[in-house]
Structure 1
Amino acid sequence: MLIHIEGSNLPGQEWGQCGQTPGVSGYRNIHIAVQRRDRPSELFGLHPGDALSAHWELEVTARSVDGQWDLRGPYVQGRPGARFIYLSWGTVDDHEVFTMFRRAKLWLDGIDHGVLTAAVDGGLLVGRLGLTDMRGGPLCAAVRPPLIEWSTS
């Protein structure tokens, strides 16, 4: 099965500290990517923070466990019943080195069971979300509906 994540409304390539990180005056050349499970330095689909949109297609397997779907794959994190996908925000320096400063955790437990069953049957699950938070910064922390909309198309 494929999970297709569609991100819109990216926050831009620069972001000030907003009072959250003492000693940090802001971030420049911001990018976002999907983080590989157990390998935070392995990123998939790096997009600049000022892109019009960001898209990722992730191959996953789905199996039924006690009447619930368990999704697994190289970019799916967590244990059964608590699976998620990390979108990592970071800066890219002059040597193309990515340094993460925050993450959004796309919780898979928030997907409606009927939608997930139809996605498993059809082979496609789509997640759509805005990537800028309420204060204008890169979206972070736990992301569940209504911040993300899950569907089969």
Structure 2
Amino acid sequence: MNDDLHLRIILISPPADVDFGLQSGSGNKYKTVQKQVSGNGDLLFVLSVKIKNDKDGNIDFAGPFVQGSKGERFIYIDIGTYAGNPESEWGRRLKIPLRDIPVSVIEKLQPDNKLILETRVPGMGKDGGPNCATVKPFEGWHAVPV
């Protein structure tokens, strides 16, 4: 298997007036794309990752948005200063895990069936600021209509 997997991340009710964006790349050479400033509603991010099989036949993910080591891949949402706003009071990242996506769900996502893999994650943390670190609890990814 070596295909593209289309993903949609919905960040539910993040605190207002904070910059958010998808991280492309890693280390000092990353860039933030799809930058958005939160308001009163949800934020939406759409992206694609590569699906590949490792040497043991297990599914793995690759591409500019994919972070982490094999078996623990994730997507970063950059927040505040990490999203390119040096004046923000926030400097955080939110990890959206890619683990535990069943092969049966990925196989449903053929281009002709108009489905996308979606996750909904809380945008506000327990401290009232932007949610950060690894999403907990994480409800996972679900195939939904485009």
Confirm or deny: 8 A CA contact 1:64 1:70 kept in the other structure. yes
Which of 71, 90, 105 is residue 81 of structure 1 equivalent to?
71
Q: Which amino acid aligns with 2:133?
A: A
Cα RMSD (Å):
2.6
Match of 1:54 in 2: 43
**How far did residue 124 of structure 1 move?**
2.8
Match of 1:134 in 2: 126
Aligned residues: 132
Q: Percent identity?
A: 27
Q: SS of the residue aligned with 2:70?
A: coil
Match of 2:7 in 1: 3
Confirm or deny: 8 A CA contact 2:121 2:135 kept in the other structure. no
Q: Following the alignment from structure 1 to structure 2, what is the Cα–Cα distance between the partners of residues 117 and 134?
A: 36
Match of 1:42 in 2: 31
Q: Following the alignment from structure 2 to structure 1, what is the Cα–Cα distance between the partners of residues 116 and 61?
A: 12
Structure 2: runs of 5+ lacking an equivalent:
none
Check 1:117–1:54 CA distance in 2 against 1; reply closer, same or farther (3 A cut).
same
Confirm or deny: 8 A CA contact 1:34 1:45 kept in the other structure. yes
Check 1:152–1:44 CA distance in 2 against 1; reply closer, same or farther (3 A cut).
same
Q: Which amino acid aligns with 2:52?
A: R
TM-score by length of 2: 0.75
Check 1:37–1:114 CA distance in 2 against 1; reply closer, same or farther (3 A cut).
same
Match of 2:141 in 1: 150
1:79-103, Cα deviation, whole Å (9 max, x unpaired): 22121110111159xxxx5236011
1:18-74, Cα deviation, whole Å (9 max, x unpaired): xxxxxxxxxxxx211111122565111111122512111112110122343111111
TM-score by length of 1: 0.72
Confirm or deny: 8 A CA contact 1:62 1:120 kept in the other structure. no
**Residues 1:125 and 2:113 aligned together:** no
**How far did residue 117 of structure 1 move?**
4.5
Q: Which amino acid aligns with 1:133?
A: G
